[in-house]
Amino acid sequence: MQKNPGARRTPRRALVFIAAPALAAGALASVQSASAAPADAAACPAPAAAIGLSTGWKLQLPTPDSSGSPQEIKQPALSTYNKAPWFTATSGCDAILLRAAVNGATTSNTGYPRSELREMTADGSATSSWSSTTGTHTMVVDEAITHLPAGKPHVMAGQIHDESSDVTSFRLEGTSLYVTSYNTTHYKLVTSSYKLGDRFEGKFVAHDGKVDVYYNGTLQATVTAKFGSGYFKAGDYTQANCNNSSPCDNSNYGEVALYGVTVKHA
């Protein structure tokens, strides 16, 4: 995929999303993988409410709509939406579990399924669009990757996207966690010993035509990225499908637990 910078947009000065407090810098907490729906789902709030998700997002799911495309849930429906096991609360009712199986529906520009939140305007009426060369744009995610697909155990968890491609992301391959830069999937090795369920804080800061990427408060990489129509994504983007992973069914999936996400534009 190639960059295709578009027209610059004036950034909105708004706090798009406020969620649970993130981990302290340098801290890693191991959390139990909660791959199933809560035992008493009625006792938990709706997934969005579990982390204080408000306006400014839509959900893209690997489940097909009537046309076979990924299902999309926008606000205000998202605030009370629950669809186990693809978008549900953890057993502790303190995070959202986002799951995408290798046989899931995909968007037109990719062959991989996702269960992801996509940044929208504050009123939810349109996809967010901001320039990396104007203002400062920050997303902080408090998350844990809890499951990898068999065959090709790759998952992306949190990313910046521009007009045509993913700019940078956290990408787990087995036990190796990387920061990516466009098509360079191994741009920076963060750790070679990631364990499923390890909770971490990731931060993306786009400014002055570049993106600084932090892991638990430590700068890991700076990606040169000049684009005019950017937006953030948070959740699970499974990097496997039925062509490279087996079995080809709902039992083979990627999954991310999202404890909180904060977006600022200044």
Q: What is the pLDDT of residue 120?
A: 95
Q: Where in the chain are the domains? A: 15-265
Give the tens place of pLDDT for each residue, 35-78: 444 445 457 889 999 999 878 999 999 999 999 999 999 999 99
d(CA 198, CA 32): 8
76 conformational bin, left if phi > 0, alpha if psi -120 to 50, beta if neither:
alpha
* pLDDT, greater one: 31 or 44: 44
Mean pLDDT of 240-254: 98
How does pLDDT run across 170-226, given as a tens digit for each residue?
A: 999 999 999 999 999 999 999 999 999 999 999 999 999 999 999 999 999 999 999
pLDDT digits over 68-112, tens only?
999 999 999 999 999 999 999 999 999 999 999 999 999 888 999
The domain defined by 15-265 folds into Jelly Rolls (2.60.120)
